[in-house]
Amino acid sequence: MTLDDAKFLALAFEEAKAGYEEGGIPIGAVLVSKDGKVLGRGRNKRVQEGNNILHGETSALQNAGRLAPEAYKGATMYTTLSPCDMCTGACLLFGIPRVVVGENKSWLGGEAYLKSRGVEVVVMDDPQCLELMQKFMTEKPDVWNEDVGGNLEGVGH
C-alpha cells in the first residue's frame, strides 16, 4: 500500500457511494495509468441502467474509452470489492498488472486466479468499503443476490 493507493481507492469509494445514493449496487472502480493518471472510473450500473455487464471494473474500462494496449501497461485497477469472474477476466484481457481491492470480507472473487496469472493483488481491508457493502447487503439482499451475490459457484466459494 502506498499513499497513492489510498488516494485512488478513495475515488473508487466515491463511485461506490454515488451508486448507493442512486439506489444501485455500491461497487466502484478506478483505472489508473502507470504515471498516476486516472484513465477511467465507473460503478456498477445493474440497477440504474438495467445493464448486467457494467460492474465497477468494466464500467471504468468502458469509460476509459478505446485505448491502445500500451495504455494499460503498468496500470492499476482500484476496486472497492474483490473482483468477480468477469472483472477478473477483464483485468487479464487488458493486461492490467496490478489490482488493488478495497475489501474481500463481503465477497471473495478471483484474487487467487489473478495471482496465478501473474497479477499483483493488494487487499486494503478498508473499513469504509466494508461498511458500505455490508449496509447494502443487509438492506437489499435480493438485488445483491441477483448480481454477484447469486454467483455462489464463484471462485471464492
Q: Binding residues for its own copies, per CB under 8 A?
A: 46, 50-54, 58, 61-62, 64-69, 84-90, 92-95, 110, 117-118, 145-146, 148, 150-151, 153-155
Nearest distance from residue 69's CB to its own copies, in Å? 4
Nearest distance from residue 57's CB to its own copies, in Å? 9
The whole-angstrom separation of Cα 154 and Cα 107 is 10
- In what helix (H) or strand (E) does residue 122 lie, and over which residues does it extend? strand 120-123
For its own copies, give the closer residue by CB, 10 or 92.
92
Check residue 117 and report its DSSP letter. T
Which residues are catalytically annotated? 57
Q: What values do phi and psi take at 27, rounded to 5?
A: -130, 125
Nearest distance from residue 128's CB to its own copies, in Å? 25
- In whole angstroms, what separates CA 127 from the centre of its chain? 16
For its own copies, give the closer residue by CB, 12 or 87.
87
Specify whether the CB–CB gap between 72 and 90 falls below 8 A: no
For its own copies, give the closer residue by CB, 3 or 118.
118
